[in-house]
Every structure is written in structure tokens, then in C-alpha cells.
Amino acid sequence: MNVNARARRISIRLCASTRTIRLTIPPRASRARAEAFLLEQQDWITRQAAVRLPPPLPFRPGVRLPLGDEVLELAEGRGRIAVREGDRLLVPGGAALFAGRVRRWLSAEASVVLTAETHALAARLGKEVRKVTVGDFRSRWGSCGRDGRIAYSWRLILAPDHVRRAVVAHEVAHLAEHHHGESFWRLAADLHGSPHREARSWLAANGPRLHSYGVDS
């Protein structure tokens, strides 16, 4: 529940990336009224969830994950760490550790791929990248600070190659153009090799699905 001084009425927002409901209320609204409003909107919430939220896609043996333009099947493995063998990811540890180890492997893979792609494009601009990090961000796929630090969502490793590379080109372009004006988009398109419209449309349509991977319920 979020109390917003500028709110004039109680409102509900369904966030597809976090799979949560955000209830916003004005300062003078009582908690009881807010809870009653939430109950009144249950049918709407159910309908919206059915339309906007993809089903959960937990990390379990037998699940096939997109990995760029490839497909990777999750399977039980031995030892202490997940290991890729061909088109399979062998994950040890049983059910209690399986999902966490898949997530860590994907995050590490994303870090390697995104770091390499970022430095390669930055070199074309003659710009320095101070640091590249990955995390599980919900509101954006990437960010670039004025200090040269670039961050990405590890979930980009699950997107098609051209989509991931478009995001990298977008963030690297910000090393030279700290805005979203025409010169920025020209540079981003030049770094990517094509306009970003297709990649942006893909993320708008499929972003919620990327966020559904690793979700149990």
C-alpha cells in the first residue's frame, strides 16, 4: 500500500514485471476503506492477471529455456555447480538448490556476455566503461550512469540475441549522448546496425514473460 500526497482517489495498478498489485491511496483515505476497495476490485484484478501475466515458468528439470537464439534444457547433474553440456544445463543439488543454481548460472552467463558486448561497442566509440554489472531489475532492462557504470537485467540473456544487443547499444550510446534526442537514437542505431524499434516492441510484448522465468507461483 502506497500513500501518495498527490493522489485524489484510491487506485490499483497491476505490475507485470513484479507480478504484484500496487494500491495507491490519498493521505486522508483510511486503511479500512482501502482494503474494502481492494476487495471490491477482486474480479477486475483476476481478469487483468489472466490477460497480462504469463503463467509462472519455474526452474525445474525438463524445462527448456531460451538462451539468446538457442534453447537450453535444464537437467539434474552432479557436483556443486551447474555445468553446460551442449544444449543441456546440468544442475546438481536436488530440488532445494536447483532453482537457485540455475539463476546463478544464468546471471553469470549474462555477466560474461553483456560485459564483452559492452566493452566491444564502447571501444568503437573510444569511450571507457568503468564497470558492468547485472541484477534482477524490474523497471528497466539497462542503465548507464554519467560515471561510466552500466547495469543490465540478467534476464536479457533469455531474450533473442538481437534484442539483447539492441539494449547494449542503447546503454553504450549513453556514454556519448546523455539524453534521448535524435542524435542519441542515430548513434544507438549505428552501434546496433539497425533501428531499435523491433527490439523495443519485442521487449514491450515479451518483457512480462522474461520476468516469469524462475517464478514458482
pLDDT digits (tens, 9 = 90+) for 105-114: 999 999 999 9
Identify the CA nearest to 169 among candidates 209, 149, 145, 199.
Answer: 199
Q: Are residues 14 and 102 in the same domain?
A: no
Same domain, 168 and 124: yes
Same domain membership, residue 108 and residue 30:
no
pLDDT grade, residue 71 (50/70/90)? very high
pLDDT at 97 over 80: yes
Statement to judge: residues 164 and 78 lie in one domain: yes
Does residue 17 share a domain with residue 91? Answer: no
Q: Alpha-carbon distance 180 to 173, whole Å? A: 10
Residue that is last in its domain, among 31, 52, 73? 52
CB neighbourhood size of 22 (10 A): 12
pLDDT surpassing 90 at residue 156? yes
In this structure, are 147 and 193 located in the same domain? yes
- Residue 79, Ramachandran bin (φ over 0: left; ψ between -120 and 50: alpha; else beta): left
The reply to whether the predicted model has a pTM over 0.85 is no
Residue 57 counted as domain residue: no
Domain of residue 40 covers 2-52
Q: Is residue 217 part of a domain?
A: no
Query: Does a structural domain hold residue 40?
Result: yes
Residues 91 and 115 in one domain: yes
Q: Within a domain: residue 59?
A: no
Looking at the fold, whether 134 and 173 belong to one and the same domain comes out as yes
Antiparallel, parallel or unpaired: β 20-25 and 2-3: parallel
Given pLDDT bands bounded at 50, 70 and 90, which one contains residue 136?
very high
Dist. CA 14–CA 66, nearest whole Å = 26
* Amino acid, single-letter form, for residue 199: A
Can you name the residues that pair with 133 across neighbouring β-strands?
Answer: 151
CATH code, 179: 3.30.2010.10
The residue-averaged pLDDT of 209-217 equals: 87
- 22 and 76 share a domain? no
The total number of structural domains in the chain stands at 2
Torsion sign across C-alpha atoms 63, 214, 85, 111: positive
Question: Is 7 contained in some domain?
Answer: yes
